[in-house]
């Protein structure tokens, strides 16, 4: 073999080795099997990052905000539906943070999964406040586990305790007819339950919602001065929501509404819409598979029935 040929072969081998090495470096490693996530604890209390007195108490998949002031505690939603131990745990958790008395318990809206079980708060001396529509509904139902509010809010009211102001606002019909937005102006935080699910598709709760007015109430919330929303059910990874989340939800409701409106006018409500319609833009959102039929059913009620 000529020396030239040797040189060519050697050069080719070196090039091949270099290419293989480069491939080895750019080929992504096989992803490791995801480590099994430990089950989250049944309940948890966390101080909201960037605040020195705002807390979230979570029990299973529901949560409530409480605020500690120098003159007492403002608590919200007892979240004790079918589980009175959640309420006593909630109070024990507050006592671990402060010895201040619990002065207020504020209901976010009238649904039992958020407000049942408040008696231990009442027994501890808390004044219970809710929107006037919540009180009207509860007064009729007389649910034995749900304490009637002592005081009500019509459009807006500010609770001043110690150096903390908590502004309660009624922003109209949405997920319910009694939803209050609770806003901490200094911290630029709001607590809003069920009508602002964070980055997830609403589900069963659509049943008694007011879809057209809901859009207006989201626009009202977007115009308020705040930066983070604490939801009534934890968001993905437990994160709080932003105005972008509210805008995304508004767009989702508008998209679902427009799609069902068109189908309804072609006579496709209820079954064809509920069973066949998809909104692929949202299929990556948690709750899409389970929640979408409930969303479509509600919009069929609106556009296919007139309710
Ligand atoms: Zn609700």
Taking phi over 0 as left and psi of -120 to 50 as alpha, with beta for the rest, 223 belongs to: alpha
Confidence check: pLDDT of 10 > 60: no
Alpha carbon 231 to its chain centroid, in Å, reads 4
Are 45 and 96 in contact by the 8 Å Cβ rule? The answer is yes
Rounded-to-integer distance, Cα 275 and Cα 300, Å: 12
Distance 25 CA to ligand 1 centre (A): 52
Q: Tokens 């069902």 label which residue?
A: 260
Half-sphere exposure of residue 283: CA atoms within 13 angstroms, side-chain side: 5
pLDDT in tens, 282-303: 999 999 999 999 999 999 999 9
The pLDDT assigned to 33 comes to: 55
Q: Select from 85, 95, 86 the least CA-distant residue to 58.
A: 86
Residues around ion ligand 1, judged by CB within 5 A, are 111, 194
- CA triple 125-128-132, angle to 5 deg: 160
Are 137 and 178 in contact by the 8 Å Cβ rule? The answer is yes
* Three-class secondary structure of residue 169 per DSSP: strand
**End-to-end alpha carbon distance in the chain:** 91
Both tokens assigned to 77:
């939603």
Rounded-to-integer distance, Cα 54 and Cα 238, Å: 16
Average pLDDT, the chain: 92
The stretch 148-161 carries a mean pLDDT of 98
Distance 76 CA to ligand 1 centre (A): 14
Distance 115 CA to ligand 1 centre (A): 9
Say whether pTM exceeds 0.85: yes
pLDDT in tens, 203-223: 999 999 999 999 999 999 999
Both tokens assigned to 33:
């099997």
Distance 176 CA to ligand 1 centre (A): 7
């Amino acid at each position: 073999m000529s020396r030239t040929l040797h040189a060519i072969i050697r050069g080719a081998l070196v090039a091949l080795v270099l290419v293989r090495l480069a491939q080895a470096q750019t080929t992504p490693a096989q992803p490791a099997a995801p480590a099994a996530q430990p089950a989250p604890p049944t309940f948890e209390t966390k101080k909201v990052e960037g605040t020195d007195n705002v807390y979230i108490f979570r029990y299973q998949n529901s949560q409530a905000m409480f605020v500690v002031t120098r003159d007492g505690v403002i608590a919200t939603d007892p979240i004790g539906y079918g589980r009175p131990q959640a309420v006593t745990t909630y109070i024990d958790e507050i006592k671990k943070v402060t010895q201040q008395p619990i002065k207020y318990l504020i209901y976010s809206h009238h649904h039992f999964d958020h407000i049942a079980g408040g008696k231990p708060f009442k027994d501890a001396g808390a004044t219970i406040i809710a929107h006037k529509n919540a009180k009207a509904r509860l007064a009729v139902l007389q649910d034995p586990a749900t304490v009637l509010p002592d005081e009500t809010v019509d459009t807006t009211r500010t609770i001043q305790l110690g150096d903390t102001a908590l502004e309660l606002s009624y922003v109209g019909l949405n997920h319910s007819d009694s939803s209050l937005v609770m806003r901490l102006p200094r911290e630029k935080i709001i607590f809003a339950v069920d009508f602002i699910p964070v980055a997830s598709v609403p589900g069963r709760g659509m049943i008694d919602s007011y879809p057209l007015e809901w859009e207006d109430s989201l626009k009202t919330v977007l115009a308020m001065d705040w930066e983070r929303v604490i939801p009534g059910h934890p968001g993905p990874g437990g994160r709080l929501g932003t105005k972008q989340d509210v805008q995304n939800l508004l767009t989702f409701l508008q998209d679902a509404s427009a799609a069902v409106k068109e189908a309804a006018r072609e006579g496709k409500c209820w079954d064809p819409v509920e069973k066949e319609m998809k909104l692929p833009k949202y299929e990556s959102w948690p709750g899409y598979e389970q929640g979408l039929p409930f969303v479509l059913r509600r919009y069929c009620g609106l556009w296919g029935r007139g309710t």
